[in-house]
């Protein structure tokens, strides 16, 4: 039988300040009857902190006669043999749950003050169990709630990769050391992953590890000290005006999916290398007085692009295929995740690349680099290219770019997308 002292307890927390009634966390195990006669009820935890109460329903199901309310204990003496086995198993599992709650409280105590809502969230997500996988999943959820979709996607990809390296076996964060990371790095290299991609995974793991340190799941042991987390300069892939023209003139009317992918690529090119996520989020309200004005998601910079005939044709072509008030046919009523649509679009662009017999496949980002490359070949000044693309780190250039008028940029773009 579960001992009374395990089932009914009050844990006092100290968070670096004098303890008082407001800083007491109490956790009680209670039983709730089913609303249906003859059905099992459920055990639940009642959490109280700072006079706030939260309930956590468990998966433990028992009948009313199997619960001793006075002793707050499961009782199985009068149950049938098979039922006794079930109740004894619950006894063991419930003790484990209680130990986890105690461990969680100790970890949160290291973090400092916290709310009962935070306690409940961490417990339900198992994010403070000390293991890596649930902690990363918890961080991904937090990032998604904050609309930081790209970072959440990187964390998710890194988690899947590291899990494959571990053959699906989780690891306690406190056990992550330099040897494990070096082995993971070697594993990625053996799988022909590029240096910058490996570095991206390692930076993600380092960020996750540092957050675990801040939350008291481990102490800082500098396991990334010998791991490369830099970014090598890479040759940006761009295609010339001839290929862009071929792409533009392809007859894809019998392959509608490819046609949409091609048109979104061309729209990006026409919009001075607009990113896929920014295209996906364009609304009808972004178009006004012959211009498309939008806020670049990466830098939060506001860019304005003059509407050219080629852009108008694409918008008109898909006017009846968009959802809600979106300008382009990227989202659909079942999926508003730009990452999945980007993945699909790039797969289709790869098929188009094969049709054109290109040496290297194009992707959505090629449109941006191609615009810049073609602009440079046409003699467009570097400062105009920088301004047109919304570069934020061209500090010196921006000092004297302030006087550039919109018409200068409009004329530059018109010259480039003419594809003469």
34 lies in some domain: yes
pLDDT at 296: 86
Summarize the confidence of residues 305-314 as an average pLDDT. Answer: 95
227 lies in some domain: no
Sign for the CA dihedral angle at 215, 217, 219, 223 comes to negative
**Whole-number Å distance between alpha carbons of 330 and 326:** 9
Task: Give, in degrees to the nearest 5, the angle at Cα 50 between 46 and 55.
Answer: 20
**Whole-number Å distance between alpha carbons of 75 and 132:** 36
User: Would you list the DSSP string of 90-157?
Assistant: HHHHHHHHHHHHHHHHHHHHHH----HHHHHHHHHHTTTSSBHHHHHHHHHHHHHHTT-HHHHHHHHH
pLDDT for 119 beyond 90: no
Summarize the confidence of residues 98-110 as an average pLDDT. Answer: 77
Same domain flag for 82 and 136:
no
Pairing of strands 52-62, 302-306: unpaired
The torsion defined by the Cα of 282, 285, 289 and 290, in degrees rounded to 10, comes to 20
Closest of 219, 328, 189, 181 to residue 266, by C-alpha = 328
- Name the residue with higher pLDDT: 399 or 113: 113
Domain boundary among 124, 154, 173: 124
pLDDT for 21 beyond 50: no
59 lies in some domain: yes
Summarize the confidence of residues 17-26 as an average pLDDT. Answer: 51
Same domain flag for 25 and 147:
no
The domain total for the chain is 3
229 lies in some domain: no
Distances (CA, A) of 264 to 4, 166, 219, 273, 324: 66, 39, 48, 11, 18
pLDDT at 138: 85
- 60-64, 93-97, 127-131, 172-176, range with the lowest pLDDT: 127-131
373 lies in some domain: yes
- 48-52, 293-297, 326-330, range with the lowest pLDDT: 48-52
pLDDT at 235: 55
| Helix (H) / strand (E) containing 199 | helix 195-214
252 lies in some domain: yes
- Name the residue with higher pLDDT: 31 or 400: 31
Same domain flag for 117 and 142:
no
Domain boundary among 88, 105, 124: 124
The DSSP code for 335 is B
pLDDT for 130 beyond 80: no
* Burial per residue of 335-374, b for 16 or more beta-carbon CB atoms within 10 angstroms, e otherwise: eeebeebbeebbebbeebbeeeeeeebbbbbbbbbbbbbb
pLDDT in tens, 401-418: 334 456 666 776 777 777
Task: Give, in degrees to the nearest 5, the angle at Cα 313 between 311 and 319.
Answer: 105
User: Would you list the DSSP string of 367-408?
Assistant: HHHHHHHHHHHTT--HHHHHHHHT-SS-HHHHHHHTT--HHH
Same domain flag for 83 and 184:
no
**Whole-number Å distance between alpha carbons of 17 and 266:** 61
Range of the domain at 149: 132-214
pLDDT in tens, 85-100: 888 888 788 887 888 7
User: Please, which pLDDT band fits residue 213 given cuts at 50, 70 and 90?
Assistant: confident
Place of tokens 């105690």: 102
Which range, 18-22, 131-135, 373-377, has the best average confidence (pLDDT)? 131-135
Same domain flag for 291 and 399:
yes
Closest of 45, 42, 44 to residue 66, by C-alpha = 42
Same domain flag for 313 and 335:
yes
pLDDT at 405: 53
Domain boundary among 214, 231, 252: 214
pLDDT in tens, 151-174: 998 999 999 999 999 999 999 898
Same domain flag for 70 and 148:
no
Same domain flag for 199 and 300:
no
374 lies in some domain: yes
Closest of 313, 350, 327, 224 to residue 280, by C-alpha = 327
Q: What are residue 117's phi and psi, to 5 degrees? A: -65, -40
Q: How much of the chain, in percent, has pLDDT values that exceed 70? A: 86
Which distant-in-sequence residues (6+ apart) come within 8 Å of 107 by Cβ?
Answer: 128, 130, 215, 216, 217
Same domain flag for 56 and 74:
yes
Which structure tokens are listed for 321? 């295929």
User: Would you list the DSSP string of 340-357?
Assistant: HHHHHHHHHHHHHHHHTT
pLDDT at 323: 94
pLDDT at 5: 42
Same domain flag for 315 and 413:
yes
Report the CATH number at residue 357.
1.10.443.10
Same domain flag for 280 and 406:
yes
Same domain flag for 327 and 413:
yes
Q: What are residue 196's phi and psi, to 5 degrees? A: -70, -35
pTM: 0.53
The DSSP code for 183 is H
348 lies in some domain: yes
């Amino acid at each position: 039988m579960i001992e009374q002292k395990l089932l009914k307890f009050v844990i006092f927390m100290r968070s670096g300040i004098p303890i008082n009634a407001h800083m007491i966390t109490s956790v009680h195990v209670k039983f709730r009857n089913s609303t249906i006669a003859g059905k099992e009820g459920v055990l639940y935890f009642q959490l109280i902190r700072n006079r706030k109460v939260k309930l956590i329903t468990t998966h433990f199901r028992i009948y009313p006669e199997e619960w001793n309310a006075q002793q707050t204990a499961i009782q199985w003496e009068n149950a049938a043999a098979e039922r006794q086995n079930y109740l004894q198993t619950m006894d063991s599992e419930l003790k484990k749950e209680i130990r986890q709650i105690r461990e969680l409280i100790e970890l949160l105590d290291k973090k400092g003050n916290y709310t009962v809502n935070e306690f409940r969230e961490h417990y339900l997500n198992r994010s403070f169990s000390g293991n890596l996988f649930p902690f990363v999943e918890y961080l991904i959820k937090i990032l998604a709630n904050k609309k930081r979709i790209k970072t959440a996607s990187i964390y998710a990809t890194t988690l899947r990769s590291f899990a494959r390296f571990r053959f699906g076996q989780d690891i306690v964060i406190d056990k992550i050391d330099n040897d494990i990371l070096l082995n993971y790095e070697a594993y990625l290299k053996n799988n022909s992953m590029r240096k910058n991609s490996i570095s991206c995974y390692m930076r993600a793991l380092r960020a996750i590890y540092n957050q675990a340190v801040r939350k008291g799941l481990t102490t800082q042991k500098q396991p990334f000290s010998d791991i490369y987390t830099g970014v090598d300069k890479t040759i940006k892939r761009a295609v010339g005006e001839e290929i862009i023209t071929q792409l533009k003139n392809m007859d894809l009317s019998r392959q509608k999916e490819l046609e949409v992918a091609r048109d979104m690529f061309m729209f990006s090119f026409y919009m001075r290398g607009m990113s896929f996520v920014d295209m996906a989020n364009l609304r009808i309200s972004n178009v006004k007085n012959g211009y498309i004005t939008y806020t670049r998601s990466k830098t939060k910079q506001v860019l304005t692009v003059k509407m050219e005939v080629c852009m108008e044709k694409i918008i008109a072509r898909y006017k009846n295929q968009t959802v809600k008030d979106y300008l382009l046919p990227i989202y659909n009523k079942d999926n508003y995740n730009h990452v999945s649509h980007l993945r699909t679009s790039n797969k289709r662009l790869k098929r188009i690349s094969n049709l054109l017999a290109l040496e290297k496949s194009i992707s959505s980002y090629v449109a941006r680099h191609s615009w810049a490359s073609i602009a440079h070949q046409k003699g467009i000044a570097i400062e105009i290219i920088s301004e047109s693309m919304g570069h934020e780190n061209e500090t010196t250039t921006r000092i004297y770019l302030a006087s550039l008028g919109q018409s200068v940029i409009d004329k530059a773009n018109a010259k480039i997308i003419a594809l003469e």
